[in-house]
Each structure stands twice: as structure tokens, then as C-alpha cells.
Structure 1
Amino acid sequence: MIQLKYSSKKLEKQCTSMAAMQKAYGPEISKQLSERIFQLRTSDTLGDLLTPAAPGKWETLSGDRKGEISARVSANQRLIVTTPDTSNPKEATVVRVERVEDYHKK
């Protein structure tokens, strides 16, 4: 099982409490976000999710986002995570949830 860490206590609450999640992101995004968090919690390694067959389109990012992994939460919103204990994301058993954002907006 993947161990989850969070970049802040506020984000941890938004990702672990459905009420806080819905207040922060609304019902539609909350449904998908809770599914992505569940996927993380129930996978053995992040590599289990970094496959084309995994729901959520998990992918490693590049360029100025190198070192980050994203999963779709909506058409524009992404769950952004990092792997603090390994340089190979596919082997990661500890994942840090960094944020939920629309990284297409600049």
C-alpha cells in the first residue's frame, strides 16, 4: 500500500474529509478526487497507476514540472503528487500529495 503524505494540513483535510472536499472543490470534482485518493491508498506502488489502463490518466510530467505526477480529476483539474523517497516514480510506496490545480492556466 502507498503511504500518503500531504503538503499541508489544509490539503490533507480536503483530501480525507468528504465535507471539506466538497466545500473546497464542489461535488463533481470531489467525486473524482476521492476516487484518485482511493486509487493511491489501495495501490502497492505508484507504478500500478502509471499504466494506460489505470483510470485517471496518471502521468509523469516534464519540463518545469519534472518530478511531478498528475492524475485527472476533471477536464482541467489535476491532482499533483511527488515521490519524495525515490527518483523512480514507478517504485514509489510513499507519495506526497502536493495540490489540486488547473495547471493549464498560466
Structure 2
Amino acid sequence: MSTFDRDDVEQVLRERAAALDLRLGDMTKAPERGSGISFGKRVGDGTTEAVRRLTEVGVGSALETKHLRILRALEKLDEGTYGICDRCGGPIAPARLRFAPESVLCVDCARETGR
């Protein structure tokens, strides 16, 4: 990978990491005072809020996983191993890296591990 390509990849990864930091930061803020959840016998605002928060937990988990992949890809850039699969040591397809620059596994290893 040329220096120019490396710089482009690093910039994209850093921008994505910063965007994820903001989203994760917003999700981990304490709820506003007086916005507690209350459950009654009827479906209402409390139930809607509870479902929204449960959904955010799942989304937050996925965002954290993606953030960790981005950080690992940045480490690989620094190590000089970007584009090499962390699992099998083979090359990661350039098309995969263009589509998802945070990829640290080749397609086959990603499929096998479910990532």
C-alpha cells in the first residue's frame, strides 16, 4: 500500500472512529432528570421508552464492536500489517478494504467467525 493510500485509509478510519465516539458518548449520557421509566397496566410512554432503551443497548453493542475493529485497523496500519488477515495471515481482498476499511479478517475468516 502506498503512502498516499495509507493516509487516505487512516483519515477515513479516524473520521469513522470520531463519529462513533460521538454516537457512543450520546448513548451513554445519563437520562434527563424526571425521565424515569414507569410501568403500568397499560401500554404507554413508559413501555415505549423501555423498548427504545433496550434497542439502544443492542445498537450500542454493535457500535462498540465496530469501534474496536476500527481501532484494530489503525493499529495494523501502524504495524505495517494492514490488509493482512488477523486470523489466517492471508491477504484481505482490496475490494473488501475499499468497502469496509476497518476489516481485519479476510472474507473466508469473517464468514467462519460470523464477523
TM-score, shorter chain, exceeding 0.5:
no
What TM-score comes out, normalization by structure 2 length?
A: 0.33
The structure where helix makes up a greater share of residues is: 2
Which has the larger strand fraction?
1
Ranked by relative contact order (alpha carbons within 8 Å, sequence separation 6 or more), the top structure is 1
TM-score normalised per structure 1: 0.35
The structure having more radius of gyration, on CA atoms, is 2
